[in-house]
A and B are shown apart, each in its own frame.
Chain A
């Protein structure tokens, strides 16, 4: 097998597995930049995946056909945004410990989604399979380009490109707009931001809800491109992997994008390595734990220091020094 053929397997499958991680970790960038730690990304992805499954099934039923999964992704984004409001209210307004609230959010999402699945689908522990998932396709024209085409544009889904595009949009929003400046200032020094007339509480709410929307979309993309049905083990660690990507990417949209792609690469290698010479000798456990080990190493500062926003994790109480 030539190196070219290896690339033709690895790159598309990396793009596929990375897309949900990219969306979710971008959501994480918004919330943590605003100063709210969100351990609940996993739960938000669960809600997104669950909503996408139910919505796609319902839309298919009412004749939306191939549009159903796309609409479902949007609905899942809304659902994730609404669900994240719980975290926002509890951790921002009620000043609960953000990690505690995030842990509870994961609990609630896991319990609630399966509870509802059982309720809607008569006691079964999983949803039926959706018929119209977003399939891997060859993108017209672009896939015909020699060399680049087969690697990047064959057997891919549009969602992967949307995810990469989203990273650029997020970067622009966070670093090139007044809104982004306010968001970051609230996460670095809320008291200073407050004296300058920025509504700290409102900015943090926006940050958390954006993470909910992106997390919901991430979960939905995972469902409509990869698993096609929702059950207990659909979202098993994807959200925490996205959290790792966020930290590994040093709280920066491009960092999160790069880290997600890299983690997607490691994950897809652990699945496809059987087909690839030399790699099939390597136990897949190394590839599975690689993202987490590397994140730990990055955090120790051997590979450039990763520093969280200064006020990340601290509730803002007016007048408190």
Chain B
């Protein structure tokens, strides 16, 4: 029994690794087939993010919202919920944090900055609470309701910006320095990248997810509901409450991701015609990270690296940056098909397959 458990956990760790390798391999084949140089492309990515401080800084910068939205998806997954609504929660959080920063611009930094971050978290949490409530009370499937909430958020935030906070360049005014996470120190350190203090928030969030889920009674209940709603109900847990709670906390993580973009990376919010893509990438990050805090950090680093390195790849090897999106999509397919990867691996190693 013990040995079997070991084998399974070893296998589950192997699937993401195999998936990434397969994804990169397919990417290489696509490049080769379309007349690009895969070696040059990949080496340019590696070189830029490991050897050039600017790209290293941008990678960590891109990691901040990716990790947070990955945590959001992973947290809901642990309760058996699929939060596709990170994108909408992120936008709600982004808008709320920027609006709060501009609205209370006379406050000192030590109040305004935490307040703005909190505003983002609350807005994201509310945006997650609604689908959670609909699921708990009316059994509305969260996949459908969060997709609907995404679009409501997209159109509502752009309407609110147009009506109340509009300035030149189809965006809100820049937030006051007192609410900014940007830092000259970090920028200088990385030769002018947009790296900001938000990475501390991301680290705290990673710890928070681990602590809540594995070190509190609340987390035990949340995970228990994820394993079996019926058993949890029978054990006297309030399933509905846990569903709402899980979606709300998930939304808070997503709202924080938005706040990081608003207070850190951009210092404003633009009118978005389409989604930012960060929330959808968060699904990939969570899946690849096996819905664990550490896994989310690792896969967040991988995707952030691919995306910032992709810019260098485009200029050095001439490969359109969309290739990165293709690779990410393929990685999700492979991770999702874990069952077959496992089966094929079993065949490959000449062992008998056990489901």
Contact = CB atoms under 8 A, between A and B. Distances in A.
B280 interface: yes
B322 A111 contact: yes
Interface residues of B, number: 47
B141 interface: yes
State the main secondary structure of chain A at its contact with B.
helix
A202 to B, nearest CB: 19
Interface stretch (A114-122, A158-166, A222-230): A114-122
Interface stretch (A102-110, A132-140, A253-261): A102-110
B84 A103 contact: yes
Which of A110, A283, A293 gathers the greatest number of chain B CB atoms within 10 Å?
A: A110
Contact of A99 (B82, B320, B326, B339): B82
B286 to A, nearest CB: 10
A284 B154 CA distance: 13
B326 A115 contact: yes
A107 B325 contact: yes
Interface stretch (B115-123, B225-233, B329-337): B329-337
B148 A90 contact: no
Given A108-B330, A299-B145, A300-B140, A240 B151 contact: yes
Given A104-B336, A285-B156, 7 more contacts: A37-B143, A94-B340, A100-B283, A103-B280, A107-B326, A107-B328, A299-B140
11 contacts: A94-B340, A95-B340, A96-B336, A104-B284, A108-B326, A115-B326, A233-B274, A244-B148, A247-B144, A284-B159, A288-B159
B147 interface: yes
B329 A90 contact: no
A236 B283 CA distance: 19
A49 interface: no
Nearest to A114: B322
Contact of A100 (B144, B147, B154, B287): B287
Contacts of A240: 147, 150-151
Interface residues on A, range: 35 or more
Contact of A289 (B34, B151, B339): B151
Contacts of B332: 100, 103-104, 107
Contact of B329 (A107, A236, A247): A107
A296 B148 contact: yes
A94 B339 contact: yes
Interface in A66-108: 86, 90, 93-97, 99-101, 103-108
B156 A289 contact: yes
A272 interface: no
